[in-house]
Chains A and B, each alone.
Chain A
Amino acid sequence: MKIQEIERVIFEKFPGAPLVRDETGKMGALWSVVVPVSGIRDVAKTFETADFFLETVTALDFQDTLELVYHFNCYEPKSRVVVRMLCGHDQVAPSICDIFRGAGWLEREIHDFFGIRFSGNPDMRPLLLPEDADYHPLRKDFGKVSAYRKREEIYG
C-alpha cells in the first residue's frame, strides 16, 4: 500500500526520526514524524512522486523553537500524514515550492505571520498583510497573547 511504502522510505532516510502514531484519532492522520530541516525537500519529493497533495502548511511559535507542520494527503481513504520540522527563530527553512506549486502561497503566508524565511521561493512578497508591513502578527510577542510556552509543555 502507498502509505506503507512512504513509511519505509522515510525510515530509510531518517533512521532515528521520532514517529508518533495516532491512537486516539485526534491527530486526524495516520502518524506524525519529525524530520530535520534539511530533510524536508527529500520528504516532499517522496510524497510528490507517490501522488500525494500538500493539504496545508502551518507554523507554531514556542519559546525555544518554531515548528512547521506539513499535512500531506492523497485521494484515497485514511492517507493523511503529518510531517513536522523544528527550526529556530532565526533559521532559514528550505522552500518546497518547486516540488508542490501550491506551497508558494502557503510559505508566503507563513512568512507574513511568523517571519520564517524560506530559501528558494522566488516570490516572498506579503500575501495577506499590507505591502509595507514589517510586523509578524502570529508571533507570541506581538499584541495580546494569552500564553507563551515551550514545546515540551504541549507535546511532551
Chain B
Amino acid sequence: MGELYTTPPESEKIYTLNLGPQHPSTHGVLRILLDLDGEYIVKADPVIGYGHRGHEKMGENRLYKQFLPNTSRMDYLSGLLFNHGFVLAVEKLVGIEVPERSKYIRVIASELNRISSHLLWFGTYLLDLGGFTPFLYAFDDREQILDILDSVTGSRLTYSYCRFGGVSRDIDANFIDMTRAFLKRMDARWADYDNLVSENIIFINRTRDVGIIDRELARQYAVTGPNLRACGVAFDVRRIEPYEVYDRFDFEVPTGSRGDALDRYYVRFKEMQQSCRIIEQALDHLPGGPFLAEKVPQKITPPKGEVYLAFESARGLAAYYLVSDGSPSPYRCHIRVPSFGNLNALIDVLPETLVADAISILGSIDVVIPEIDR
C-alpha cells in the first residue's frame, strides 16, 4: 500500500525540463531540453539558433572591407582575433605583403584580447558556480586591458582594428607603457587568483571529475581549444600551423591530463600566463617601420579561387573559408567556429550527470552562442 505513494509509475519517471533561452548561466541564448530522472540527466538536446543573424549571407552581399565589422560580432569576446583571422585570409587570397611592425602589433593586440576573453570566462564561470568575488576581480583586470585596446582601436568590445595590409593606427609610447604596466600588475595577480579560487575546496569539489571529455570523444566531435588540451592533446594552431610571427616567440602549450572541468580551468589559467609571455617578447622585439602596406586598393578584387585560413581563437580552432569569383564580394564566406563542436560534445557528456553539474560543465567548456549561430 505504501508503494502507491512512494514509487512513481514508469511513465512518469522522466521529466522534461527546459533550460531555456533566458537563463543566467547559459552564455548567450542557448536552450537545452533536459530529460531528467530525479536530478540526473538522461538526455540533453541543445536547441540553438536564437541568435542567428545571417553572417554568411551577409558576407556574400558585402565588399571584403564591409565585412570587417561582422567579424568582430560573431565571437564578441575574441573580436580582435576573428578580425585578425579575416584580414589574414584576405591577404593570403590576394597576396598582400604586410610590414613587420604591424605583424607584431596585431600579435600583441590579439594576445591582449585572448587574455581578456579568458578573464571574462573566469569571472562568469565562478559566478555560475556561486562565487561573486572573483567576478569583480576579473572584470577589474579586464577593464585595464579594455583601456589599453580602447586607446588604440577606439572600441571596447567589437574592434575593427586590423586592415588589409596592416592595422588602422600605429601604437605609441602610451600604449607600450600601459601594456608593460598591465603585465607587471598581472604578475602579482596570478597569486591572488590562486589563493582565492584554485585552492578553494568548494571549487575543487565542483569541478574535479566533472564533465570528462576524453580524447576519443573530442576527436569525434572536433572539440578544439582548451577543452581538447585538457585531455592531453597539445593541439594549438599557433604551434601546429604558425601564422603571422608566432613561430618567433617562445611559449608553452599547457595541457591537462584528465579532461575534467578542473583541468580546463588550469589550462586556461596557464594560457593567460603564456599570453603574457608572448606580449612581453613581442614588445621587446617590436620593430620600427610602417604600420600599413602601401598601395592596397580600396575595393579589393581578389583573383578567382579559395582560401582556408585557420587561427587560434580563445575557444579553439577557428577558420575562414572564402571563395572568390573575381568580384569585389565573396562568393561564399564560411566561418568555422570552435564552439560548434564544443557544444555538440555535450550531447554525450551531459547524460548521467546531475543538473547542478550540468551548469558547471556548460560553463567550463566556454561557449559563446552567437558564434555558433552566426
Q: Within 8 Å by CB, do A and B touch in the complex? A: yes
In the assembled complex, the Cα of A106 lies from the Cα of B341 at a distance in Å of: 9
| Contact pick for B235, options A75, A80, A101, A129, CB 8 Å | A75
Is the CB–CB distance between B305 and A26 below 8 Å? yes
Most interface-central of A60, A76, A77, A128 (chain B CB within 10 A): A128
Q: Is the interface of B mostly helix, strand, loop or mixed?
A: mixed
The interface size bin for chain A is 35 or more
Is the CB–CB distance between B56 and A101 below 8 Å? no
Q: Closest Cβ of chain B: how far from A12's Cβ, in Å? A: 25
- Does B8 count as interface, using CB distance less than 8 angstroms? no
Q: Closest Cβ of chain A: how far from B30's Cβ, in Å? A: 13
| Contact pick for A154, options B308, B309, B323, B348, CB 8 Å | B323
In the assembled complex, the Cα of A145 lies from the Cα of B329 at a distance in Å of: 10
Neighbouring B residues of A25 by C-beta, 8 Å: 92
Is the CB–CB distance between A56 and B334 below 8 Å? yes
Chain B minimum-CB-distance residue to A100: B220
* A55-B336, A113-B56, A128-B374 as given contacts; A28 in contact with B309, CB under 8 Å: yes
Neighbouring A residues of B332 by C-beta, 8 Å: 58, 60-61
Q: Which positions 213-249 of chain B face chain A at CB distance < 8 Å?
A: 219-222, 233, 235, 240-241
Is the CB–CB distance between A137 and B334 below 8 Å? no
| Contact pick for A144, options B61, B319, B374, CB 8 Å | B61
In the assembled complex, the Cα of A108 lies from the Cα of B291 at a distance in Å of: 43
- Does A127 count as interface, using CB distance less than 8 angstroms? yes
Neighbouring A residues of B340 by C-beta, 8 Å: 105-106
Interface string of A21-60 (1 = CB under 8 A from B): 0000111110000000000000000000001011110101
Is the CB–CB distance between B219 and A154 below 8 Å? no
Neighbouring B residues of A3 by C-beta, 8 Å: none
Interface string of B334-346 (1 = CB under 8 A from A): 1010001100110
| Contact pick for B307, options A26, A100, A104, A137, CB 8 Å | A26
Neighbouring B residues of A61 by C-beta, 8 Å: 332
Neighbouring A residues of B374 by C-beta, 8 Å: 128
Q: Is the interface of A mostly helix, strand, loop or mixed?
A: loop
Is the CB–CB distance between A102 and B57 below 8 Å? no
In the assembled complex, the Cα of A102 lies from the Cα of B348 at a distance in Å of: 11
Chain A minimum-CB-distance residue to B341: A102
Chain A minimum-CB-distance residue to B242: A77
In the assembled complex, the Cα of A100 lies from the Cα of B56 at a distance in Å of: 24
Most interface-central of A28, A60, A71, A104 (chain B CB within 10 A): A28
Is the CB–CB distance between A138 and B344 below 8 Å? no
* A26-B306, A56-B334, A101-B348 as given contacts; A127 in contact with B49, CB under 8 Å: yes
- Does B297 count as interface, using CB distance less than 8 angstroms? no
* A75-B233, A130-B49 as given contacts; A51 in contact with B219, CB under 8 Å: yes
* A101-B348, A105-B344, A128-B373 as given contacts; A26 in contact with B241, CB under 8 Å: no
Neighbouring B residues of A127 by C-beta, 8 Å: 48-49
- Does A149 count as interface, using CB distance less than 8 angstroms? yes
Interface string of A55-73 (1 = CB under 8 A from B): 1101011000000010100
- Does A4 count as interface, using CB distance less than 8 angstroms? no
Neighbouring A residues of B329 by C-beta, 8 Å: 146-147
The interface size bin for chain B is 35 or more
- Does B107 count as interface, using CB distance less than 8 angstroms? no
Chain B minimum-CB-distance residue to A77: B240
Is the CB–CB distance between B57 and A128 below 8 Å? no
| Contact pick for B327, options A56, A71, A130, A147, CB 8 Å | A147
Q: Closest Cβ of chain A: how far from B142's Cβ, in Å? A: 30
| Contact pick for B334, options A58, A143, A144, A146, CB 8 Å | A58
Neighbouring B residues of A129 by C-beta, 8 Å: 49, 52
Is the CB–CB distance between A78 and B220 below 8 Å? no
Most interface-central of A61, A69, A145 (chain B CB within 10 A): A69
Is the CB–CB distance between B336 and A56 below 8 Å? yes
Chain A minimum-CB-distance residue to B324: A154
In the assembled complex, the Cα of A53 lies from the Cα of B317 at a distance in Å of: 12
In the assembled complex, the Cα of A102 lies from the Cα of B306 at a distance in Å of: 24
- Does B193 count as interface, using CB distance less than 8 angstroms? no
Is the CB–CB distance between B304 and A153 below 8 Å? yes
Q: Which positions 91-142 of chain A face chain B at CB distance < 8 Å?
A: 100-102, 104-106, 113, 126-130, 137-138
Contacts beyond the supplied A58-B334, A145-B61: 14 A-B pairs with Cβ under 8 Å: A27-B308, A53-B222, A55-B222, A55-B310, A55-B319, A56-B336, A100-B222, A104-B344, A128-B373, A138-B56, A144-B61, A145-B60, A146-B60, A154-B306
Q: Could you give 5 example pairs across A and B, Cβ below 8 Å? A: A26-B93, A26-B305, A26-B306, A75-B240, A104-B344
- Identify the 10 closest CB pairs spanning chains A and B, nearest first: A28-B308, A102-B221, A56-B336, A128-B49, A58-B334, A101-B220, A128-B52, A26-B307, A53-B219, A75-B235
